[in-house]
Each structure stands twice: as structure tokens, then as C-alpha cells.
Structure 1
Amino acid sequence: MHVHDDPNTDLDGARLAGELVAGSSDALAEMYRRWSTLVHTIAYRSLGDRHDAEDVTQQVFVSAWNGRHTLRPDAGSPAAWLVGITKHRVADVKMQRYRSHRNLHAVAAQSATEPSEQHDDWAEKLLLVSELERMGDPRAAVLRMAFMEDKPQDEIARTLDLPIGTVKSHVRRGLIELRRRLEEVEHVAP
């Protein structure tokens, strides 16, 4: 697929690229208007999740603004440059998914090999429950169902009447928040 076949469009793209490099936020807004659908479509087809595709689309245009100095107006269309950024952001999401999946399997494997140590440590369990309660719903409910009740994410989405992307987001962001809170407690503990 050729993003631009019309020479006038190529000239307009070069103009937009030059304006973006010069720091024009209007040029970024115009690029977003023209190519956000393309970016979103690529992200959605690669990731299969609308929420992740929306996140990637936003990240692509933030990256375009922050990295505008890398755009060379004479080296190709801004659309091709945005597609390149999109592919990098998609790869980042896939790597993050892989790491999350790997970490969950590692935790599950550890739980299976050391069940008595983990279940006997009531202080840690109480701390975890306390931190989940502080987090509030729906995120706490999603984490409780995912890790304490061992329910799959699609079942959680149906039970809580939430989109699957929202459930995945709550799991990802909730784990980050929980890890941060537990690290704070470890630093305070004698």
C-alpha cells in the first residue's frame, strides 16, 4: 500500500514535516488528523486489542512530538515515519505482554513448589489484602479475581461487565501500583 501516490500530497507532507521539525504543534495536530486512523489500524491489527491500540496511537504521536528532530522532511513521507514509530511501539507492547506472561508463570511456578511457605506467611497475606482494599474497585476486584481466585481475564470481564481491554489494563497497572506500594512498605519496615 502506498500512503501517497499524489506528488502534491508528498509536497504537503514535506511541508508538514518541516513545520513539525520547527516545533509547530499545529503541524502535529494536522498529522494526527490525517494519520491517526492509519496508526490505530496498524496497532489494532498487530495487537488485537482496542485499548492497547488506543494507547499505542497516543504514544506514537507523543513520540513524534518528542522525537521531531529525527524527522527528515527530504527522506520520505511523515506517514511512513509514523508507521515506523508505530511498529516500535507495537513491539514494546508485545515485549511488555511477554514479560507479564513470563512473570505470572514464574509466580505460579514458585507458588506450586513452595505452597507451605507462602500460605503460612499471614503477615504478608494480610498486607496484600490491605493494599488491595486501599486500591479500590474495580481494580482491586480485578486483581483479587485474577490472582486470589485464579479466574481468567475473559471471565473477570464478563463477571464485572467490563471490556477485556479494561480488565487487562487494570491487571497491568494494578500490579505496578501494588509492587510500588509493597516496596514502600519494605523500605519503612525495620
Structure 2
Amino acid sequence: MQRSADETAEGLAKSFARGEDGSLEAVYRQYGHLVYTMCRRTLDESRASDVTQEVFISAWKGHQRFDPAKGTLAGWLVTITKNRIIDNIRAAKRHSERRSGTDLADIPTEAGIEQIAERMLISETLRRLPEATRRVIEMHYFDGSTHSQIAEDTSLPIGTVKSTIHRGLAKIRDQLESAYE
């Protein structure tokens, strides 16, 4: 079942790259929450909504530059989002510098935005992993369970637990590398 979800995401990416009718709406339905959440973690609600809209307008205008063979649509959108957030924050800093007495401490840094982008991309990649793989990775990295504990809790052989973690991490790494090429 997960394989068909991957195939669906791949098909959506290809139709978007070709500029097919309805693909922008489908991409927004699929990734709008990811983009908005990333914006909202660094911007106020109003600006987050505006930047989310800017991201999808930019993506649509530049859809021919997206190459599904080089990376995922989620990774490409996260990169656009990161750049739009940085542009928005730079503009806010320029504006606030013109006004005296404005505190710039609450404005996130580019490094902070980069970190948020990576977290969002990892989260999106984890969400797309098969349920069993995601659960084993979560048990190991988030719950702190050892390989032996996971094997016992899931009734999987320890070798399967190790290989599942290895394959899942490889997929996450591939997603991150493709997003930052």
C-alpha cells in the first residue's frame, strides 16, 4: 500500500513538472500543510499565510525547473519555502531597522530557518515511510529503545529490526540529499 503512495507522489511530481491542469491544486492539497507549518514556525499567522501563497505561486511559475529525477517535490517546495521565509525576514529586518527601538531578537536567523527546513523535511519523509518502518525508527530514536527491545516489542528478528532502521535512515538521507543538491 505504501508503494502506491510513493507512486502517487511520483506521478503527482511528474504531472506538476509538466504543468498539467489541476496539478497545482493537487500539490497544494498534498503539501500545503507542510509549507504552511514551516512558515508558521518562523512567521506570524498573517505573514505565514502570505508566504505560503507566494511559495505555491513561485513553484507554479517555475514548475518547468523542477526535475523529479533529481529530487522530491517535497524537498523542492521546502527549499522554495526556506528561501521565501528568508526573503520575508530580511525585508522585515530592513523595515524594522528604519524604525528606531525595534527589537530584532525575535526574528529568526537563517541558520534557524535552515534547521526548521531540515526538521520539516525529515518529518515529511518519516510520514511517507511504511508504517512498520516508521514505528521501528520512532521506537529507536524517539523512545530510546534498543534493537533488542524493539525486536521483543514487535516480535521481529533483531536482524530485521536493524535492517529496517538502516533502510529507513537511508531513505531519509536520500530525501535530504536530493533536497539540498
Distance 1:87 1:9, change over 3 A: same
**What pairs up with 1:19-98 in 2 under 5 angstroms?**
19-47=15-43, 49-98=44-93
Distance in 2 of aligned mates of 1:103 and 1:90: 20
Q: Name stretches of at least 5 consecutive residues in structure 2 with no aligned partner.
A: 102-181
Post-superposition shift, 1:18?
A: 1.4
Distance 1:25 1:61, change over 3 A: farther
Higher helix share: 1
The structure with the larger Rg is 1
* Aligned CA-pair RMSD: 1.5
Q: Which amino acid aligns with 2:94?
A: R
Post-superposition shift, 1:100?
A: 0.1
Q: Which amino acid aligns with 2:89?
A: K
Q: Secondary structure at the match of 1:88?
A: helix
Distance in 2 of aligned mates of 1:78 and 1:40: 15
Deviations 1:80-137 (A, max 9, x none): 11111110110011001000011223xx8xxxxxxxxxxxxxxxxxxxxxxxxxxxxx
Post-superposition shift, 1:8?
A: 2.9
Name whichever of 11-20 and 62-71 sits farther off. Answer: 11-20
Q: Which amino acid aligns with 1:37?
A: H
Distance 1:84 1:7, change over 3 A: farther
Distance in 1 of aligned mates of 2:62 and 2:20: 13
**What pairs up with 1:101-116 in 2 under 5 angstroms?**
101-105=96-100
Q: 1:16 aligns with which of 4, 12, 29?
A: 12
Superposition misfits of 4+ residues, deviation over 3 angstroms: none
Distance in 2 of aligned mates of 1:66 and 1:102: 32
Q: Which amino acid aligns with 2:95?
A: S
Q: Percent identity?
A: 36
Distance 1:65 1:30, change over 3 A: same
